[in-house]
Structure 1
Amino acid sequence: MKLYGSLTSPYVRKVRILIREKNLACEFVVADAWAADSPIPALNPLGKVPALVLDNGDVLFDSPVIVEYLDSLKTPALLPVSGVARWETLRWQALADGMLDATVSRLLELRRPAEQQSAENVRRQEDKIARSIEYTEQRLSRESWLMENRFTLADLVMAVALEYIDFRYPHNWRGRHARLAQWLAGVSARPSLIETRPPGMEKK
């Protein structure tokens, strides 16, 4: 298998962490979706990363599909296969992906020429992020993990989202959410997160 993606994409990082956690054989090919000679549009008609090329030549995209496929290849499952726990985990993934989407939208807005930027859009994205962080802290148990008293996809995706917020929208969310900050510090110490941290992302 080959995983195509960029080093800084948090959606790609989700997949790379899962590959590392499950010790799967998968080559990582660094590819810029925006480059003129990028292989990505030929793999994914949406022109987005990540894209996973299977051994039979088929291609899977995007990150939720790839994560679920790779998780199915080897036990123990990070995404429960059925029941309430599965839907709760998928809800965590939806929340984390939404946090990433908001952070990316905010970043792109601020990269526009100053006279074209929308302060309202920036505020809207920041509000989404703030509400999501509050939601997460309110649902933290007193255990080390979000689900099942073990590391699952819920922990993986939320840690990626919070670290990406630190990377692209650094602000003192920890000042109001000490329990969540402590939880993140524990998850962020896992080798899979340390080894996939993008260049320039400093540990907070």
Structure 2
Amino acid sequence: MKLIGALNSPFVRKVRIVMAEKRLDYQFELEDVWNRDTIMKANPLGKVPCLVMEGGEAVFDSRVIVEYVDTLSPVGKLIPDRGRERTEVRTWEALADGVMEAAVLARLEQTWAGRSEAQRSAAWVSRQMDKVHASVAAMSQGLGDKAFCSGTHFSLADIAVGCALGYLDFRFAHIDWRSQYPNLEKLDAKLVQRQSFIDTKHPAG
């Protein structure tokens, strides 16, 4: 398998962590997402991550990829097969993905070179960051005093939340979520010690 992605993408990081936790071998191909001619050969949406199968078929959207990948190996089951537990884990993932999506959109509005300063919308950035702050607060409330997001076991929910918090540290370091939400800090401290998180940490700068 080949995973097409970018080191700065929190969604790519989520997939890479899942692949590592599942102990699956794959080729990682770095991609410039602005080079549409290249990425669109594999994914018509022009987005990463994109998983290319041995037969050339492409699987895209991080949620679809991680669900598929979790079925490839019995090692470290990350998504419950059915019922309320499965729904809980996928809802955590949706919440964390929402944080990442809003943060990415806010950063693009603030930094994209294709737009002048006069064209940037502070109102749009504020709207996206409101989603970030509300969702991080919801994460803290949902976590409570549990060891992991979905109870006592490490799951995709924790990977997604860890990637969301890691992206905030990477691109929005001024947000002091640790002092506001000590339970998230405690969870994050456990996650960043896992080799899968260490090996996929966002690059400096």
Aligned length: 200
Alpha-carbon distance between aligned partners in 2 of 1:54 and 1:78, rounded to the nearest angstrom: 21
Aligned match for 1:178, one of 168, 175, 182: 182
CA shift for structure 1 position 109? 1.2
User: 1:48 aligned to 2:52?
Assistant: no
User: 1:126 aligned to 2:129?
Assistant: yes
Aligned match for 2:196, one of 168, 179, 192: 192
- Given that 2:170 and 2:202 are in contact with CA atoms closer than 8 Å, whether structure 1 keeps it comes out as no
Amino acid at match of 2:199: E
User: 1:32 aligned to 2:36?
Assistant: no
Q: Give the root-mean-square deviation of aligned CA atoms.
A: 1.4
Amino acid at match of 1:181: E
Aligned counterpart, 1:66: 65
Moved more, 192-201 or 12-21: 192-201
Structure-to-structure mapping, 1:93-112, within 5 angstroms: 93-111=93-111, 112=115
- Given that 2:145 and 2:183 are in contact with CA atoms closer than 8 Å, whether structure 1 keeps it comes out as no
Amino acid at match of 1:167: F
Alpha-carbon distance between aligned partners in 2 of 1:190 and 1:174, rounded to the nearest angstrom: 19
Alpha-carbon distance between aligned partners in 2 of 1:197 and 1:176, rounded to the nearest angstrom: 23
Task: Find the residue that maps to 2:3 and give its secondary structure.
Answer: strand
Task: Find the residue that maps to 2:44 and give its secondary structure.
Answer: coil
1:23–1:80: structure 2 CA closer, same or farther, 3 Å change rule?
same
What residue ranges of structure 2 are gaps of 5+ in the alignment?
none
CA shift for structure 1 position 143? 3.2
Aligned counterpart, 1:14: 14
Task: Find the residue that maps to 1:28 and give its secondary structure.
Answer: strand
The runs of at least 4 consecutive aligned structure 1 residues that moved more than 2 Å come to 35-38, 141-144
Amino acid at match of 2:165: L
CA shift for structure 1 position 36? 6.0
CA shift for structure 1 position 113? 2.4
Q: TM-score, normalised by structure 1?
A: 0.93
What residue ranges of structure 1 are gaps of 5+ in the alignment?
none
Moved more, 155-164 or 141-150: 141-150
Q: TM-score, normalised by structure 2?
A: 0.93
Task: Find the residue that maps to 1:43 and give its secondary structure.
Answer: coil
- Given that 1:33 and 1:41 are in contact with CA atoms closer than 8 Å, whether structure 2 keeps it comes out as no
Moved more, 116-125 or 7-16: 116-125
